[in-house]
Copies of this chain bind each other. A is one copy, B any other.
């Protein structure tokens, strides 16, 4: 009887086409379709509850909720205070912990393994491999995120949101790839596109603040190779193009990342105040660059800051800025109508140790091991997200795309001519533990599918092993550190993993990847 019911419900789903949270058609990945079919009845009930909550809120505020996504740089799983890091590791960031405990903290949130890929994933809801832009962009590189991709900023603009971004764009330097041409009304971006920019800043620093000050051979290297690494910062406005940022563009100094971050939060809070009373809701994408390998002159000597880890000082600066943001939301009386999500873009970049991030897991930035892709994340929404929750569910950064679309009532604006990997997680945020609609992850590194997670199991794909998972098959829930490969006790899980891989490939065959504009960058691309 139960089987008959689920078959019947499955048929209804098939007749209606794949459903997002609100029932409009777009193309999820194959494994989601199968999972959705099995859960159609429960999710339909949940969707009613979700809709009722959002409708009540909309009645109260007279508009859809505001959305703020904070993407940070190279902060590993275990680095925040609530995970045993924070002040325990010399980077006291109490506001981030408050965000975690006042809202939802996630032990199992996933990003792509490096900077540009995670930004692509968040902006498009798609794995980079589908978009034609696969790996980290380096300064001077001329390709970028295809204008034919649809960003969440475009979708939210279409849904009548104010849209703005601050920080590290890293999706292409050329004007056609720029945020003001990819859906943002306003953007303050582009400074410090990649690591060389930081190297140059550190080189220019004669104070010894940066670890690589007076990098030997740098001048000679630049002269010999004829490369100009100076990269300007821009403000961009939709329909008006870009302008260099006065006083910062082209001018390299160790203080400029800090100045840029300070200017960002000043602008952001002013912009939010301006939009707080607007008829339209807003979307803010704050891609804070500065946590990666920066130093804050303001906080280098602050109490509790590890002086051997300059990044710690920037974490403290960031903490102050997040507090300013939350204060603004409260002062304006819009906290309860604003979803704030904080997430890191990937694991730590140990190359800069001791000024670098850290993770308790195996691997680091660039790896599909958990240390590269499992990242700290929090969601905060007073009145809508009950405090003190740490769901057991897992989700992926692409889900933020689809969730934002659903919150804006714009699921129907997601293109239906391509696969969208992002899954609507409004249910997880509003209903809590057990409501993630994701039970799989494909871990890509560029165009290489490095690992697959299905339910509790993760298999590292090793073609050279003839398809046998061997010791690289983990119960990732039991063993997040990927210490104990276990083929024998989990052999039964091979078949479902192969099955979802077939479903995944089926969707690729139906909706082929966008071909890269240029040959794939290089394996040597620095991860930044």
Contacts and interface: CB of A to CB of B under 8 A. Distances in A.
Given A308-B478, A478-B306, A350 B87 contact: no
Given A88-B392, A90-B477, A478-B89, A308 B360 contact: no
A27 B131 CA distance: 69
Given A84-B107, A353-B484, A484-B350, A358 B478 contact: yes
A88 B479 contact: no
A475 interface: yes
Interface size class of A (residues with CB under 8 A): 20 to 34
Contact of A477 (B78, B83, B88, B350): B88
A353 B108 CA distance: 23
Given A350-B484, A484-B353, A89 B477 contact: yes
B484 A354 contact: yes
A208 B481 CA distance: 29
A309 interface: yes
A71 B517 CA distance: 61
B83 A108 contact: no
A411 to B, nearest CB: 30
A367 to B, nearest CB: 14
Interface string A475-494: 10111110110100110000
A122 interface: no
Given A90-B477, A477-B90, A354 B84 contact: no
A419 interface: no
A354 to B, nearest CB: 6
Given A306-B478, A475-B308, A477-B90, A486 B108 contact: no
A354 B89 contact: no
Nearest to A359: B481
Interface string A333-370: 00000000000000000100110001011000000000
Contacts of A353: 484, 486
B358 A361 contact: no
Contacts of A88: 107-108, 390, 392, 477
Contact of A309 (B90, B360, B478): B478
Contacts of A361: 360
A402 B99 CA distance: 38
Interface in A461-479: 475, 477-479
Contact of A87 (B81, B392, B490): B392
Nearest to A107: B84
A489 B354 contact: yes
Nearest to A393: B88
Contacts of A308: 475, 478, 489-490
B392 A478 contact: no
Give me the 9 closest cross-chain CB pairs, A-B, nearest first. Answer: A360-B360, A84-B107, A353-B484, A88-B107, A88-B392, A308-B489, A354-B489, A89-B478, A360-B481
Interface of A: 78, 81, 83-84, 87-90, 107-108, 306, 308-309, 350, 353-354, 358, 360-361, 390, 392, 475, 477-481, 483-484, 486, 489-490
Given A308-B489, A354-B486, A360-B480, 5 more contacts: A78-B360, A308-B490, A353-B484, A354-B475, A358-B479
20 contacts: A83-B84, A84-B107, A88-B107, A88-B390, A88-B392, A89-B478, A89-B480, A308-B489, A308-B490, A309-B478, A350-B483, A353-B486, A354-B475, A354-B478, A354-B484, A354-B486, A358-B478, A360-B360, A360-B361, A360-B480
